[in-house]
Amino acid sequence: MSTSSDKTIGALIVDDEVLARQIVRELLQTHPEINILAECSNGFEAVKAVTEHKPDLIFLDVQMPKLSGFDVLELIEGNIAVIFTTAFDQYAMKAFEVHAVDYLLKPIGRERFEGALDRAKHRIANKPRAANHRSADETDKPHPAAPGPHASDLAVAARPPQHFLERIVVRDGTRVTLIPIAKLDYVEAQDDYIALASQGAKHLKQQTIASIETGLDPARFVRIHRSYIVNFERVVRIEPYGKDSRLAILADGTRLPVSRTGYARLKSLLDDRA
Amino acid sequence: MHPLLSRRSYLGAYVAVWVPLACLLIFLIRISGGMGTLEATVLLAPMAALFAGASLSAWYTCRANPLRTAGITRLFFTHLSGALILSFVWAEIGRFYARALATLQSFQGLAVRYDAHFGVIVVSGVLLDFIMIGFFYVLIAIEASRIAEARVLETSVLARDAELKALKAQVNPHFLFNSLNSISALTSSDPAKAREMCILLAEFLRMTLGLGEKSNIPLSEELSLLHRFLAIEKVRFGSRLQMTEEIADDCQSLLIPPLLLQPLVENAVTHGIANLPDGGQVRLAAHCEDGRLSIVVENSFDAEATPTHRNGMGLVNVRQRLEARYPNLASIRVSTTADQFQVNLSLPAEPQEMHS
Q: What integer is the mean pLDDT of A201-207?
A: 90
Rounded to an integer, the average pLDDT of B213-218 is 84
**A88 and A187 assigned to the same domain:** no
**Residue B185 to residue A180, Cβ atoms within 8 A:** no
Cβ atoms of A41 and A16 closer than 8 Å: yes
Q: How confident is the model at residue A234 (pLDDT cuts 50, 70, 90)?
A: very high
**Looking only at Cα atoms, what is the longest distance across chain B?**
117
Contact call for residues B217 and B184 (beta carbons, < 8 A): no
Q: What is the pLDDT of residue B164?
A: 66
Indicate the DSSP class of residue B351. P
Q: Which residues pair with B245 in a beta bridge?
A: B284
CA distance A259 to A229: 11
Mean pLDDT across B297-316: 73
First to last CA, chain B: 58
Residue A142: band (very low, low, confident or very high) from pLDDT cuts 50, 70, 90: very low
pLDDT tens per residue across span B218-229: 999 999 999 999
Question: Is A28 strand, coil or helix?
Answer: helix
pLDDT band of A4, cuts 50, 70, 90: very low
- Which residue did the predictor score with more confidence, B21 or B313? B21
Which helix or strand (DSSP H or E) is residue B252 part of?
none
Enumerate the domain spans of chain B.
3-161, 171-348
Cβ–Cβ contact B303 with A under 8 A: no
Q: Give domain status of residue A148, yes or no.
A: no
| pLDDT of the residue at A137 | 43
Whether B181 and A65 lie within 8 Å, measured CB to CB = no
Of A30-34, A236-240, B55-59, which range is least confident? B55-59
Chain center to CA of A91: 16
Q: What CATH number does the domain containing A16 carry? A: 3.40.50.2300
Give the N- to C-terminal CA distance of chain A in Å, as an integer. Answer: 60
CB-hemisphere CA count at 13 Å for A32?
A: 1
User: Does residue A79 lie within any of the structural domains?
Assistant: yes
Q: For residue B292, is pLDDT > 90?
A: yes
Q: In chain B, at which residue ranges do the beta strands (DSSP E only) sit?
A: 217-218, 241-247, 255-256, 280-289, 292-300, 331-336, 340-348
Query: What backbone phi and psi angles, to 5 degrees, belong to B13?
Result: -60, -40
- pLDDT at position B355, please? 55
Asked, for residue A149, whether it belongs to a domain, the answer is no
Residue A4 lies in a domain: no
pLDDT of residue B242: 95
Let me know whether A70 and A111 are in one domain.
Answer: yes
- Mean pLDDT, chain A, integer: 84
The answer to the question of residue A151 being in a domain is: no
Q: What CATH number corresponds to the domain at position A192? A: 2.40.50.1020
> Which residues fall within 8 angstroms of residue A32, CB to CB, at 6 or more apart?
none
B174, B236, B305: residue with CB nearest A19: B236
What is the model's pLDDT at position B60? 84
Per the rule left: phi > 0, alpha: psi between -120 and 50, beta: everything else, A191 is left
C-alpha B339/C-alpha B342 separation (Å) is: 10
Which pLDDT score is estimated for A158?
Answer: 59
Q: Are residues A93 and A167 in the same domain?
A: no
> Same structural domain for residues A98 and A172?
no
Q: How many CA atoms lie within 13 A of B107 on its CB side?
A: 20
Pairing of strands A34-40, A9-14: parallel
Q: Are A227 and A259 in contact (CB under 8 A)?
A: no
The fraction of chain B above a pLDDT of 70, given in percent, is 94
Q: Tell me: do A20 and A136 sit in the same domain.
A: yes
Is the predicted pLDDT of residue A31 greater than 60, yes or no? yes
At B178-206, the pLDDT tens digits run 999 999 999 999 999 999 999 999 999 88
Q: What is the rounded CA–CA span in Å between residue A225 and residue A220? A: 15
Residues in Cβ contact with A231 at an 8 Å cutoff, skipping those fewer than 6 apart: A184, A185, A186, A220, A221
Q: Is A167 on the interface with B (CB under 8 A)?
A: yes
For residue A156, the tally of other CB atoms under 10 A from its CB is 21
A223 and A175 in a single domain? The answer is yes
B185/A105 touch (CB, cutoff 8 Å), yes or no: no
Q: Is residue A237 part of a domain?
A: yes
> pLDDT at position B174, please?
84
Contact (CB<8Å) A66/B180: no
Domain stop point among A88, A108, A140 = A140
Average pLDDT over residues A104-130: 88
Q: Which of A38-52, A231-245, B64-78 has the lowest mean pLDDT?
A: B64-78
Count, residues in chain B: 356
Q: Where does residue B279 fall: left (phi above 0), alpha (psi -120 to 50 degrees), or beta otherwise?
A: left
Asked if residue A20 and residue A116 are part of one domain, the reply reads yes
Q: Would residue A153 count as lying in a domain?
A: no
- Indicate the helix (H) or strand (E) that contains B89: helix B72-102
Q: Crossing angle of helices B219-237/B173-189, nearest 10°? A: 60
Q: Is B267 on the interface with A (CB under 8 A)?
A: no
Whole-angstrom distance, CA of residue A45 vs CA of residue A141: 18
Asked if residue B343 has pLDDT above 60, the reply is yes
Q: Which of B184, B236, B238 sits opposite A107 (nearest CB)?
A: B184
Average pLDDT over residues A172-195: 89
In the beta sheet, which residues pair with residue B154?
none
Is A26's pLDDT higher than 90?
yes
Residues 6+ apart with CB under 8 A from B199: none
Choose the final residue of a domain: A96, A112, A140: A140
Spatial separation of the C-alpha atoms in residues B106 and B90, rounded to whole Å: 24
pLDDT tens, residue by residue, A66-106? 889 999 988 887 789 999 999 888 888 888 888 899 999 99
pLDDT given for residue B169 in this prediction: 55
Structural domain containing residue A223: 160-273
Residues found in chain A: 274
ipTM: 0.71
pLDDT average, residue stretch B334-338: 89
Q: Is A182 on the interface with B (CB under 8 A)?
A: no
Mark yes or no for CB contact A20/B275 under 8 Å.
no
> Cα A39–A45–A46 angle (5° rounding)?
70
Report whether pLDDT(A36) > 70: yes
What confidence category does residue B111 fall into, taking pLDDT thresholds of 50, 70 and 90?
confident
Alpha-helical segments (H) within B246-340: 262-267, 313-325
Residues forming beta bridges with residue A83, ordered by sequence position = A59, A102
pLDDT band for B230, please (50, 70, 90 cuts).
very high
- Mutation target to probe the B interface, by most B beta carbons within 10 A, among A16, A17, A19 is A19
Do both A200 and A266 map to the same domain? yes
Cα B41 from Cα A262, distance rounded (Å): 92
CATH architecture of the region B171-348: 2-Layer Sandwich (3.30)
Q: Is A18 on the interface with B (CB under 8 A)?
A: yes
What local confidence, expressed as pLDDT, does residue A143 receive? Answer: 42
The answer to whether A87 contacts B182, with C-beta atoms less than 8 Å apart, is: no
B306 burial level (CB within 10 Å; 0-12, 13-18, 19+):
middle
Average pLDDT of the segment spanning B289-296? 94
pLDDT at position A130, please?
44
Q: How many CB atoms lie within 10 A of CB A135?
A: 7
Peptide bond into A107 cis (omega under 30): yes
Rounded Cα distance, A55 and A81, in Å: 9
* Burial grade of A3 (CB within 10 A; 0-12, 13-18, 19 or more): exposed
- Give the integer Cα–Cα distance in Å for B26 and B45: 8
3-state DSSP of B132-181: HHHHHHHHHHHHHHHHHHHHHHHHHHHHHHHHHHHHHHHCCHHHHHHHHH
- Predicted local confidence at residue A138, as pLDDT: 42
Residue A146 has pLDDT above 50, yes or no: no
Using CA atoms, how far apart are residues B83 and A48, in angstroms rounded to an integer?
A: 94
Tally of domains in chain A: 2
Query: Can you give the pLDDT at residue A148?
Result: 52
Residue B73 has pLDDT above 90, yes or no: no
Q: What is the average pLDDT across B343-354? A: 88
CB contact A41 to B (< 8 Å): yes
CA dist., res. A231 & res. A183, Å (int): 9
Give B177's contacts in chain A (Cβ within 8 Å): 87, 105-107
The CA–CA distances, whole Å, from A179 to A48, A70, A71 equal 18, 16, 12
Between residues A149 and B266, which one has the greater pLDDT? Answer: B266
Contact A65 B236 (CB under 8 A): no
Task: Report, as an integer, the average pLDDT of A179-187.
Answer: 92
Does the beta-carbon distance from A87 to B181 stay under 8 Å? yes
Q: Is residue A126 located within the same domain as residue A14?
A: yes
Final residue of a structural domain among A140, A173, A195: A140
Residues A126 and A53 in one domain: yes
Query: Is A1 inside a domain boundary?
Result: no
